[in-house]
Amino acid sequence: MDIFLQQLINGLTLGSIYALVALGYTMVYGILGLINFAHGEVVMIGALSSLTFVRLLENSGLPGTLVLLIGLLLAALVCMTLGFAIERVAYRPLRSAPRLAPLITAIGVSIVLQQLAMLIWGRGYHSVPALLPAGRHEFLGASFTNVQVVIVVVAALTMVGLTLLVNRTRLGRAMRATAENPAIAGLMGVDADRIISLTFVIGSALAALAGVLVSANYGIAHYHMGFILGLKAFTAAVLGGIGNLAGAMVGGVLLGVIEALGAGYIGDLTGGVLGSHYQDVFAFFVLIVVLVFRPSGLMGEKVAERA
Amino acid sequence: MSQPRKPWLGVTLVGIALLLAPLVVGASLGNAWVRVLDFAALYIMLALGLNIVVGFAGLLDLGYIAFYAVGAYLYALLASPHFGVHWPAWAILPLGAAVAGLFGVLLGAPTLRLRGDYLAIVTLGFGEIIRIFLNNLNSPVNITNGPKGIAGIDAISVFGHRLSKSIDIGGFTVSGVMLYYYLFVVLALGIVFVGIRLQDSRIGRAWVAIREDEVAAKACGINTRNVKLLAFAMGASFGGVAGGLFAGFQEFVSPESFGLMESIMVLCMVVLGGMGHIPGVIFGGLLLTVLPEAFRHGAGPAQQALFGKVLLDPEALRMLLFGLALIAVMLYRPAGLWPEPRHRREMGK
């Protein structure tokens, strides 16, 4: 039971981060029908740039939490600028191009960001200073840290905030209208280009947050961290039904929990034949099974076949 | 397709160019560059295989390298000291094509209902699964030798001569990499031939119909299920052959060679060259193999000459330029560098 609970807690932590990143994928996909392959790299830039800002402020005598907060805000600013620029340079000119063209530019952007990060921050792994007050709590035989609590709470609050933003505000209504049909939304007075830019900016801010949280969770950051994280988050978004905000959250948390439980139990289940290094197989296997039975994801709407 | 008036003239010229290329390259730039040409031929085979799936049938496959891996590992297992089995290459390569084709169907069957991006992510997952298995199937029974890979694979032999060894013809030495070059080019030409014949066949037209509109294709009486499965199987079998050749050529395989980045690379070749257009895809394959190598060799010395020292890590610079090139080409030629003249053909009729 304690292993189960422990893995559930770990999975929930990891899943909250997946969900935050998945939101970025799903928001862009919902509006443009485009896989923003570079989103994982934005997360990485968020993590590394926040680390740089934190390093600069580390000895200023400010309390750790405040330093982290300032680092996060500055990193978010960097990522938002980056997201805005990516959309302008790599996606906007290709709105009416063949579907695979923006996918290739996205891959190009992702390669460029990764190499730039390598040139700026080097190939090595950076250890992330623990700025949050350390603490470990026991709960029914399982234990969790303050960092994990912060991750889950912050992620949950962000998701609630985003849901309110999309469903209750004027901007959210414009976003939903643009997602439905950019041309008609334009006729109703929505500036679709502005809304698309804003979507990228909001998604990138979430990416920065996710980057800070994930590096706090593992205690390390490196130029290559965005790739696999982006892949998992995209998987989570598809699992939940891409283009659907609630789906991304559910998919993210579910994927995290499945991975953690899979890693914890796969050895016992198969009599030690398969070890925990098959963790990733588990995630992708579940994805394939779900998509075979529900081709548009868990919470995706059934799309009518186009005539 | 509009035929040039003297097709044989062009074919002869291309033939002579292909024949002389390794000799000229070997003499002027050294054997390392002939090796690059070998890889170009391999990548062209892969790109042509993926072109069937993505270019003709319009099924976005992000895990294509898995079939390359299947072919390569099959060769490695059946012709190496790892199991002590030493089959001849000419028995393994067709088997590799068949097994890879089977994996293609295995991937295709459950994903028939998926469209576009969902298909992309499932194929991506499939590719990762294959790679993870290759990485971990060294326990409890050692099949793939895990991350260490399989070494000491038998070289490919033609008429009893191992291609890894050079050969003397009238006092002129033809090195192993050149022999491999000729083998690969012959096989790549075979694949080009199959591709061209497929393109204008009943099946090829059915693929294009599915790409353009699956519902309409179905309404026209095309058995979309079988035709899609065939696309997966054909594309995969090309990959399987290329994989076997890769294993025999390198005499070493490890899971590292079959990551997602490789799948993406091959996809870039197809899309950058011009999806569904065989000459374009060949051009894309050649370009994306040779250019990064040129950067690798040129980036360091060029900086040395310009600034007197190496300012930026050449490897990073190479990838940076590669990424920028991808973006630039897509922005200015969204249909690829050498796209299919489909419009012209439609207007002509």
**Mean pLDDT estimate for chain B:** 86
Q: Which residues of B302-341 are buried (b: 16+ CB within 10 A; e: fewer)?
A: ebeeeeeeeebbbebbbbbbbbebbbebbbeebbbbbbbe
Picking from B122, B141, B275 by the largest number of A CB atoms within 10 A of its own CB, the best residue to mutate is B122
Mean pLDDT of all residues in B21-25: 83
Confidence of residue A191 (pLDDT cuts 50, 70, 90): very high
Confidence of residue A307 (pLDDT cuts 50, 70, 90): very low
Q: What residues of B are in contact with residue A305 (Cβ under 8 Å)? A: 214-215
pLDDT score for B60: 87
B19-23, B106-110, B241-245, B271-275, range with greatest mean pLDDT: B241-245
Give the closest of B122, B275, B323 to A112, CB-based: B323
Q: Which pTM does this prediction carry? A: 0.86
pLDDT tens-place string over residues A222-241 = 998 888 898 889 889 988 88
Cross-chain Cβ contact A238/B312 below 8 Å: no
Domains and CATH numbers, chain B: 7-348 (1.10.3470)
Cross-chain Cβ contact B110/A111 below 8 Å: no
Angle CA B202–B205–B209, to nearest 5 = 135
pLDDT tens-place string over residues A2-17 = 778 888 898 999 999 9
The span from the CA of B23 to the CA of B12, in Å, is: 17
Cross-chain Cβ contact A272/B110 below 8 Å: no
HEC assignment per residue over A207-261: HHHHHHHHHHHHCEECCCHHHHHHHHHHHHHHHHCCCCHHHHHHHHHHHHHHHHH
Q: Is residue A180 part of a domain?
A: yes
By CA distance, what is B142's nearest residue in A? A273
> Is the pLDDT confidence value at B326 over 90?
no
Q: What residues of B are in contact with residue A110 (Cβ under 8 Å)? A: 323
Min distance A2 CA to chain B CA atoms (Å): 28
pLDDT score for A276: 67
Give the closest of B215, B272, B275 to A306, CB-based: B215
How much of chain B exceeds pLDDT 70, in percent?
A: 94
pLDDT score for A303: 53
Q: What residues of B are in contact with residue A105 (Cβ under 8 Å)? A: 326-327, 330-331
The three-state secondary structure class of B253 is strand
Q: Which residue has the higher pLDDT, B125 or B203?
A: B203
By CA distance, what is B324's nearest residue in A? A108
The three-state secondary structure class of B57 is coil
Picking from A26, A104, A287 by the largest number of B CB atoms within 10 A of its own CB, the best residue to mutate is A104
Confidence of residue B346 (pLDDT cuts 50, 70, 90): very low
Cross-chain Cβ contact A111/B331 below 8 Å: no
Picking from B295, B330, B333, B342 by the largest number of A CB atoms within 10 A of its own CB, the best residue to mutate is B330
Q: Which residue has the higher pLDDT, B6 or A217?
A: A217
Cross-chain Cβ contact B125/A288 below 8 Å: yes
How much of chain B exceeds pLDDT 90, in percent?
A: 42
**Mean pLDDT estimate for chain A:** 87
How many Å is the Cα radius of gyration of chain B?
Answer: 21
> Is the pLDDT confidence value at B2 over 60?
no
ipTM, two decimals: 0.84
Nearest to A279 by CA among A215, A222, A235, A213: A235
Q: Which residue has the higher pLDDT, A276 or B125?
A: B125
Structure tokens given for A4: 């189960």
> Is the pLDDT confidence value at B348 over 50?
no
Angle CA B152–B157–B163, to nearest 5 = 80
Q: Is residue A298 part of a domain?
A: no
Q: What residues of A are in contact with residue B255 (Cβ under 8 Å)? A: none
| DSSP string of chain A, one letter each residue | -HHHHHHHHHHHHHHHHHHHHHHHHHHHHHHH----TTHHHHHHHHHHHHHHHHHHHGGG---HHHHHHHHHHHHHHHHHHHHHHHIIIIIGGGTTS-THHHHHHHHHHHHHHHHHHHHHH-SS-EEPP--SPP-EEEETTEEEEHHHHHHHHHHHHHHHHHHHHHHHSHHHHHHHHHHH-HHHHHHTT--HHHHHHHHHHHHHHHHHHHHHHHHHHHSEE-TTHHHHHHHHHHHHHHHH-TT-HHHHHHHHHHHHHHHHHHHHHHHHHTTTSS-GGGHHHHHHHHHHHHHHHSTT-SSPPPPPPP-
> Is the pLDDT confidence value at B121 over 90?
no
The span from the CA of B71 to the CA of B247, in Å, is: 8
Min distance B58 CA to chain A CA atoms (Å): 10
Q: Is residue A97 part of a domain?
A: yes
Nearest to A244 by CA among A26, A2, A16: A26
pLDDT tens-place string over residues B77-115 = 999 988 888 998 899 999 999 999 999 999 888 888 787
CA atoms within 13 A on the CB side of B326: 30
Q: Is residue A70 part of a domain?
A: yes
Give the closest of B124, B320, B327 to A115, CB-based: B320
By CA distance, what is B317's nearest residue in A? A115
pLDDT score for A1: 55
DSSP state of B52: I
Q: Across-strand partners of B252?
A: B151
Q: Is residue A133 part of a domain?
A: yes
Q: Is residue A115 part of a domain?
A: yes
> Is the pLDDT confidence value at B158 over 90?
no
Q: Are A79 and A72 in contact (CB under 8 A)?
A: no
How many domains, chain A?
Answer: 1
Give the closest of B126, B214, B323 to A115, CB-based: B323
Confidence of residue A272 (pLDDT cuts 50, 70, 90): low
A&B contacts, CB < 8 Å: 133
Cross-chain Cβ contact A98/B335 below 8 Å: yes
The span from the CA of B321 to the CA of A108, in Å, is: 9
Q: Give me the long-range contacts of B172-178 (CB less than 8 A, separation at least 24).
A: B175/B26, B175/B31, B175/B34, B177/B22, B177/B26, B177/B31, B177/B34, B177/B35, B177/B38, B178/B22, B178/B23, B178/B26, B178/B31, B178/B34
CA distances to B101, B193, B277 from B200, rounded to whole Å, are 21, 11, 12
Q: Which region among A133-142, A148-157, A158-167, B127-136 has the lowest average model confidence (pLDDT)?
A: A133-142
The span from the CA of B187 to the CA of B96, in Å, is: 14
Q: Residue A5: exposed, middle, or buried by beta-carbon count in 10 A (0-12, 13-18, 19+)?
A: middle
Q: Is residue A238 part of a domain?
A: no
Min distance B137 CA to chain A CA atoms (Å): 9
> Is the pLDDT confidence value at A306 over 60?
no
pLDDT score for A163: 92
> Is the pLDDT confidence value at A305 over 60?
no
pLDDT score for B313: 74
Cross-chain Cβ contact A116/B320 below 8 Å: yes
Confidence of residue B349 (pLDDT cuts 50, 70, 90): very low
**Greatest pairwise CA separation for chain A in angstroms:** 65
By CA distance, what is A123's nearest residue in B? B316
Confidence of residue A301 (pLDDT cuts 50, 70, 90): low
Cross-chain Cβ contact A115/B316 below 8 Å: yes
Residues in chain B: 349
Give the closest of B129, B140, B312 to A284, CB-based: B129
Contacts (Cβ under 8 Å, ≥6 apart) of B233: B101, B102, B104, B105, B108
pLDDT tens-place string over residues A99-109 = 778 888 988 99
Q: What residues of A are in contact with residue B316 (Cβ under 8 Å)? A: 115, 118-119
Cross-chain Cβ contact A295/B113 below 8 Å: yes
B276 — alpha (psi -120 to 50), left (phi > 0) or beta?
left
The span from the CA of B40 to the CA of B293, in Å, is: 11
Domain hosting residue A192, numbered range = 17-225
pLDDT tens-place string over residues B166-218 = 887 777 777 888 889 999 999 999 999 999 999 889 999 999 999 888 889 99
Cross-chain Cβ contact B268/A90 below 8 Å: no
